[in-house]
Amino acid sequence: MEFTLSNTTEHFAGTRRALSAQRLEPLRHIDAGVLNIAYYEAGPSAGSAVVLLHGFPYDIHSYVDVAPMLAGTGCRVIVPYLRGYGLTRFRDPATPRSGEQAAIGADLKALMDALAIPRAVFAGYDWGGRAACIGAALWPERCTGLVSVNGYLIQDIANAMRPASVAHEVAYWYQWYFQVERGRAGLAANRREIARTLWKLWSPTWDFDETCFERTAVAHDCPDYVDVAIHSYRHRYGLAAGDPRYADLQSRLAALPPIAVPTVTLDGEADGVVPATDGSAQAARFTSRRAHRIVPRAGHNLPQEAPEAFAAAVMELVNG
Backbone phi and psi for residue 242, each to the nearest 5 degrees, phi listed first: -90, 170
As a whole number of angstroms, the distance between CA 256 and CA 5 comes to: 30
pLDDT at 7: 38
Residue type, position 224, single letter: D
Ranges of each domain in the chain: 5-318
Sign of the dihedral defined by the CA atoms of residues 34, 38, 41, 45, in that order: positive
Over the stretch 171-212, which tens digit does the pLDDT of each residue have?
999 999 999 999 999 999 999 999 999 999 999 999 999 999
pLDDT at 4: 38
Over the stretch 295-309, which tens digit does the pLDDT of each residue have?
999 999 999 999 999
Over the stretch 77-136, which tens digit does the pLDDT of each residue have?
999 999 999 999 999 999 999 999 999 999 999 999 999 999 999 999 999 999 999 999
Taking a C-beta distance cutoff of 8 angstroms, is the pair 302, 309 a contact? yes
As a whole number of angstroms, the distance between CA 51 and CA 120 comes to: 7
- Could you tell me the pLDDT band of residue 21, with boundaries at 50, 70 and 90? confident
Fold of 5-318: Rossmann fold (3.40.50)
Taking a C-beta distance cutoff of 8 angstroms, is the pair 36, 30 a contact? yes
Contacts of residue 250, Cβ cutoff 8 Å, sequence gap at least 6: 100, 101, 102, 242
Taking a C-beta distance cutoff of 8 angstroms, is the pair 32, 107 a contact? yes
Strand partners, 287: none
pLDDT at 72: 97
Over the stretch 276-289, which tens digit does the pLDDT of each residue have?
999 999 999 999 99
Residue 166's SS3 state is helix
Residue type, position 97, single letter: R
Strand partners, 123: 52, 147
Other beta carbons within 10 angstroms of residue 98's beta carbon come to 26
Taking a C-beta distance cutoff of 8 angstroms, is the pair 272, 201 a contact? yes
CA of 305: how far to CAs of 212, 274, 308, in Å? 12, 15, 9
pLDDT at 5: 39
Q: Which of 259, 268, 3, 234 is nearest to 125 (CA)?
A: 268
User: What share of the chain has pLDDT > 70, as a percent?
Assistant: 94
Residue 100's SS3 state is coil
Strands 89-90 and 35-42: antiparallel
pLDDT at 19: 62
Burial (Cβ within 10 Å: 0-12, 13-18, ≥19) of residue 141 = exposed
Whole-structure pTM value: 0.94
Element (H, E) at 186: helix 181-189
As a whole number of angstroms, the distance between CA 188 and CA 194 comes to: 10
pLDDT at 227: 98
As a whole number of angstroms, the distance between CA 286 and CA 279 comes to: 11
Strand partners, 77: 42, 50
Tell whether the model's pLDDT for residue 1 goes beyond 90: no
- Could you tell me the pLDDT band of residue 3, with boundaries at 50, 70 and 90? very low
Other beta carbons within 10 angstroms of residue 318's beta carbon come to 19
In the predicted model, what is the mean pLDDT of residues 264-275?
A: 98
